[in-house]
Amino acid sequence: MLQGQAAIVTGAAQGLGYAISKAYAADGMRVALLDIRGDLLDELAAEIRQAGGDPLPITVDLSDAGETQRAVDAALAHFGAPRVLVHNAALLITRSMREITLADWQMEINIILQAAFILSKAVWQPMIDAGGGSIVYLSSGSGYRGFIEEVAYNPGKHGIEGLMKCLALEGKEFNIAVNCATPGAPINTPMSAQNYTEALKQRWVDPALLTPAFLFLARQDAAGLTGHRVAARSDGSWDAINLL
């Protein structure tokens, strides 16, 4: 079912987004790869093309509203309505309330939450016109619990879960599934390398192991799973909690 269909994945250059993008391309999807790291995107696009895929790398700073709009417009112009949008990019600046600046706050909130809004709004009508689609936001334990020194990341992830719940309700009428996903295992990514304890690094896994849940989510519409937080496990399974 995914063969030949389009996906938009943000934060595609590294970490979990790289793994999701490769998994979608391996399943025959045409993937728009969005990230600020254009150098790494070109490498990923070359890998996908070598394997017979048809990717579209788009370098974009998702903290900037205009750039984000132009990037998603370019993806839509090239591929048409995506079967799935995965907003996976995020930035975690660990600073206390005494240290964090307004600029830090805006950067994190814009990448996590503002970009989620702009991207979702851009694909919403094309998905309606296409008869349905699936939107996935990467959440985190930080989407439902409090963590110290996550002054912007913590509310950003809470916000993305709120947007998910609202759009999942509205999406029912239009056959659009909207869900959040979290890593259900410690993953070996650049973000984790910066923030994990040594104990967690002892048992982190390749994020590629978590991708079956994202293939499942790409196939969803409102008749399937929507309004859930899906924890992707490293054995290829997942847990889903209904948040509606």
Site residues (vs ligand NAD, CB under 6 A): 11, 13-17, 35-37, 60-63, 88-91, 111, 138, 140, 182-183, 186-187, 189-192
Exactly one of 18, 157, 165, 201 is catalytic; which is it?
157
Closer CB to ligand NAD, residue 88 or residue 220? Answer: 88
Closer CB to ligand NAD, residue 25 or residue 187? Answer: 187
CB 82, min distance to ligand NAD, A: 17
Question: Cβ contacts of residue 79 below 8 Å, gap of 6+?
Answer: 6, 30, 32, 56
CB 33, min distance to ligand NAD, A: 10
Exactly one of 153, 165, 172, 196 is catalytic; which is it?
153
CB 65, min distance to ligand NAD, A: 12
CB 138, min distance to ligand NAD, A: 3
Mark whether 18 is an active-site residue: no
- In terms of DSSP bridges, do strands 228-232 and 176-183 run parallel, antiparallel, or are they unpaired? parallel
Tokens of 241: 């909690």
Q: Is 122 helix (H, G, I), strand (E, B) or coil?
A: helix
Q: Which residue is nearest to ligand NAD (CB)?
A: 15
Contacts 24+ apart (CB under 8 A), 59-66: 59/35, 60/34, 60/35, 60/36, 61/36, 62/10, 62/34, 62/36, 62/89, 62/110, 62/111, 62/115, 63/91, 63/106, 63/107, 63/110, 63/111, 63/114, 63/115, 64/110, 65/110, 65/114, 65/118
Closer CB to ligand NAD, residue 63 or residue 220? Answer: 63
CB 111, min distance to ligand NAD, A: 5
Mark whether 165 is an active-site residue: no
β-strand partners of 164: none
Give the Cα separation of 65 and 194 in Å (integer).
27
Closer CB to ligand NAD, residue 91 or residue 152? Answer: 91
Closer CB to ligand NAD, residue 3 or residue 194? Answer: 194
Q: Is 101 helix (H, G, I), strand (E, B) or coil?
A: coil
Query: Active-site positions?
Result: 153, 157
